[in-house]
Amino acid sequence: MDFILGLSSTAPTTPLKVALVTANGSDTAAGTEVTGGSYTRQNLTVGAASSGATSNSADLVFTGMPAATVVGIEIWDNAVTPVRLWYGALAASRTVAAADELRILAGELDLSIS
Whether residue 52 is contained in a domain is answered as yes
Please state the φ and ψ torsions of residue 104, each to the nearest 5 degrees: -110, 110
Whether residue 37 is contained in a domain is answered as yes
Arithmetic mean of pLDDT, 3-29: 86
Arithmetic mean of pLDDT, 32-40: 98
- Of the two residues 21 and 79, the one the predictor is more confident about is 21
What pLDDT score was predicted for residue 43?
A: 98
Whether residue 29 is contained in a domain is answered as yes
Whether residue 79 is contained in a domain is answered as yes
* Domain total in the chain: 1
Please tell me what DSSP assigns to residue 56.
Answer: B
Whether residue 77 is contained in a domain is answered as yes
Looking at every residue in the chain, the average pLDDT score rounds to 93
What is the reported pTM?
Answer: 0.90
Distance separating alpha carbons of residues 56 and 71, to the nearest angstrom: 18
Domain that holds residue 62: 17-105
Whether residue 112 is contained in a domain is answered as no
